[in-house]
């Protein structure tokens, strides 16, 4: 079976690919399982050296990798370059810190000695989406491999060139053969991998519906699972915020990656006393964005990934306007080739609008006006999602107090939500299960083994 990839900026066909048959994919899993037997024996500090080489490979090929992302899924090239650099930086961070994080722990109990050890599990399957083709694959892959596991990557079929380039990066960094493998295949074969005794866990970044299916299948086969799913992140502007700073930050928070991010700000909850000023600055800054060829370094916002994504955004905005929303900026597609949509700011928002009740995967920002902090918290938590949130205030103590009341995995004060390899990342409610990144993500796919030693007593 074949599939085609399309350049979202031009609507031209890039290439045609053949899906790997089930037998070939399962054979790859057997090879990965065999590679694990040797990889796990390496001292973690020996494994760390591979990741320092990987960081150098990523930097040496940064421009080529960035262009692949821009070609296949439309990411503005300047953002794609930053993404590759972040992957390299993360490889270095974990090379320096993972050994300490996985050191055995001593517990004082009733025996002579009690040790907590952290041991790898085996072959871990990763199912990754198209929107951050390198970062999402590497933020999982680096931690999983440095812990002593091996990994098979099933990437989105939107970005097969990126998927293959990721495997090539591990090869160029001289990782042992089959420690990291990319497979280009279909959902049915992925299901067989999850069922197989050759895999010991699965991590998925994607939609909530996809996550539910993978979790169900993994559960039936007693496999550990980590899910990073959708979000509808609140961006809460309090009455004591630096309004200009918040509004200009809101632009990047909503339009980064053309708005196609699970942790993008998606609901702008603003105190009534500052709503007019915030809305004006936000709309003006949004209108000033350059929406153009993503290969141009001057471009701020590129196309949506495909026609379906563009149609979905149009439908959600049309629904909002039909129910009384006012367009302060954008509100329509660009009249040109490609799946471009003008970054949009909406006001006069009601709770029954799809821009509030659904995840909006594109550059559309609904402004929701509230009267006080209590209402802001209530509106922020009125969502099936719980991934990230941001709070904008000059009062740090107030921000911290509100942060504790927000139902989310990550809360930022006076910053847009972002991932950092030193901090845990993940959501609650329908935004996911488990954590990625930091020492907490490192320990998701290890056997936390208790070893207990007692004196011989006669």
Residue 143 has a pLDDT of 98
- Is 123 catalytic? The answer is no
What's the count of helices (H) and strands (E) in the chain, helices before strands? 15, 20
Which part of the chain is CATH 3.40.605.10?
A: 2-229+431-452
Confidence of residue 4 (pLDDT cuts 50, 70, 90): very high
Residue 413 has a pLDDT of 99
Among residues 262, 359, 373, 444, the one annotated as catalytic is 262
- Is 162 catalytic? The answer is no
Residue 457 has a pLDDT of 85
Which part of the chain is CATH 3.40.309.10?
A: 233-413
Confidence of residue 207 (pLDDT cuts 50, 70, 90): very high
The secondary element (H helix, E strand) that includes residue 450 is strand 446-453
Q: What mean pLDDT is predicted for residues 237-252?
A: 99
Question: For residue 355, which phi and psi values (nearest 5 degrees)?
Answer: -70, -10
Q: Are 89 and 134 in contact (CB under 8 A)?
A: no
| Pair type for strands 123-128 and 150-155 | parallel
Full DSSP string of 301-326: B---SSHHHHHHHHHHHHHHHHTT-E
Q: Determine what percent of the chain is predicted with pLDDT higher than 90.
A: 99
Give exposure, 378-405, as e/b (b: 16+ Cβ within 10 Å): ebbeebebbbbbbbbbeeeeebeebbee
This prediction's pTM = 0.97
Among residues 83, 92, 167, 228, the one annotated as catalytic is 228
Q: Does 141 have pLDDT greater than 90?
A: yes
Q: What mean pLDDT is predicted for residues 386-400?
A: 99
Q: What mean pLDDT is predicted for residues 317-325?
A: 98
Distance CA 397, CA 188 (A): 51
- pLDDT per residue over 109-131, tens digit each? 999 999 999 999 999 999 999 99
End-to-end distance of the chain based on CA atoms, in angstroms? 68
What is the rounded average pLDDT for all residues in the chain?
98
- Kindly report the length of the chain: 458
CA angle in degrees (0–180, nearest 5) for 118-431-268? 130
Confidence of residue 374 (pLDDT cuts 50, 70, 90): very high
Q: Does 91 have pLDDT greater than 90?
A: yes
Confidence of residue 259 (pLDDT cuts 50, 70, 90): very high
- pLDDT per residue over 381-392, tens digit each? 999 999 999 999
Question: What is the dotted CATH code of the domain comprising 233-413?
Answer: 3.40.309.10
Q: What mean pLDDT is predicted for residues 303-331?
A: 98
Question: For residue 137, which phi and psi values (nearest 5 degrees)?
Answer: -70, -40
Q: Are 29 and 123 in contact (CB under 8 A)?
A: yes
Q: What mean pLDDT is predicted for residues 103-112?
A: 98
Q: Does 285 have pLDDT greater than 90?
A: yes
Distance CA 146, CA 177 (A): 15
In the structure encoding, which two tokens stand for residue 162, read together?
A: 């990126």
In the structure encoding, which two tokens stand for residue 355, read together?
A: 């821009």
- Does CATH number 3.40.605.10 belong to domain 2-229+431-452? yes
Q: Does 184 have pLDDT greater than 90?
A: yes
3-state secondary structure 4-27: EEECCCCCCEEEEEECCCHHHHHH
Distance CA 319, CA 192 (A): 40
Our measurement of the distance from residue 369's CA atom to the centroid of its chain's CA atoms, rounded to an integer in Å, reads 29
CB neighbours of 220 closer than 8 A, spacing ≥ 6?
A: none
Residue 458 has a pLDDT of 79
Instruction: List beta partners, residue 16.
Output: 4
Distance CA 244, CA 264 (A): 19
- Tell me, what DSSP letter sits at residue 411? E
């Amino acid at each position: 079976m074949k599939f085609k990839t399309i350049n979202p900026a031009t609507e031209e066909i890039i290439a045609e690919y053949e899906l790997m048959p089930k037998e070939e994919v399962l054979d790859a899993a057997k090879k990965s399982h065999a590679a694990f037997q040797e990889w796990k024996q390496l001292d973690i500090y020996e494994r760390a050296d591979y990741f320092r080489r990987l960081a150098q490979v990523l930097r040496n090929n940064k421009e080529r990798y960035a262009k692949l992302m821009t070609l296949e899924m439309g990411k503005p090239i300047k953002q794609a370059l930053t993404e590759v650099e972040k992957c390299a930086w993360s490889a270095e961070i974990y090379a320096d810190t993972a050994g300490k994080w996985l050191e055995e722990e001593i517990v004082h109990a009733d025996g002579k000695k009690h040790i907590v050890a952290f041991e790898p599990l085996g072959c871990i399957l990763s199912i990754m989406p198209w929107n951050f083709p390198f970062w999402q694959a590497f933020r999982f892959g680096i931690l999983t491999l440095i812990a002593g596991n091996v990994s098979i990557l099933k990437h989105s079929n939107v970005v097969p060139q990126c998927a293959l380039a990721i495997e090539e990066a591990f090869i160029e960094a001289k990782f042992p053969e089959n420690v990291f493998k990319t497979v280009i295949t279909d959902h049915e074969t992925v299901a067989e991998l999850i069922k197989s005794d050759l895999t010991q866990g699965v991590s998925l970044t994607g939609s909530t519906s996809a996550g539910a299916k993978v979790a169900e299948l993994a559960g039936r086969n007693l496999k550990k699972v980590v899910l990073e799913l959708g979000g509808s992140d609140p961006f809460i502007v309090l009455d004591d915020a630096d309004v200009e700073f918040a509004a200009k930050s809101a632009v990047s928070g909503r339009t980064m990656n053309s708005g196609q991010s699970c942790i993008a700000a998606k609901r702008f909850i603003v105190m009534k006393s500052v709503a007019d000023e915030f809305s004006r600055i936000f709309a003006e800054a949004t209108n000033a964005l350059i929406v153009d060829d993503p290969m141009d370094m001057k471009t701020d916002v590129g196309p949506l990934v495909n026609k379906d994504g563009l149609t979905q955004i149009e439908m959600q905005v049309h629904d909002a306007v039909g129910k009384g929303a006012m367009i302060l900026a954008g509100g329509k597609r660009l009249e040109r080739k490609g799946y471009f949509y003008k970054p949009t700011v909406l006001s006069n928002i009601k709770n029954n609008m799809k821009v509030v009740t659904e995840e909006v995967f594109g550059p559309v920002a609904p402004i929701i006006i509230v009267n006080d902090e209590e209402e802001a918290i209530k509106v922020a938590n009125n969502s099936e999602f719980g991934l990230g949130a941001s709070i904008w205030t000059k009062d740090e103590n107030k921000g911290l107090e509100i942060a504790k009341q927000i139902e989310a995995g990550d809360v930022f004060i006076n910053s847009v939500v972002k991932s950092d390899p030193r901090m845990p990342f993940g959501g609650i409610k329908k935004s996911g299960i488990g954590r990625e990144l930091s020492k907490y993500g490192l320990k998701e796919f290890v056997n936390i083994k208790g070893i207990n030693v007692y004196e011989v007593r006669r």
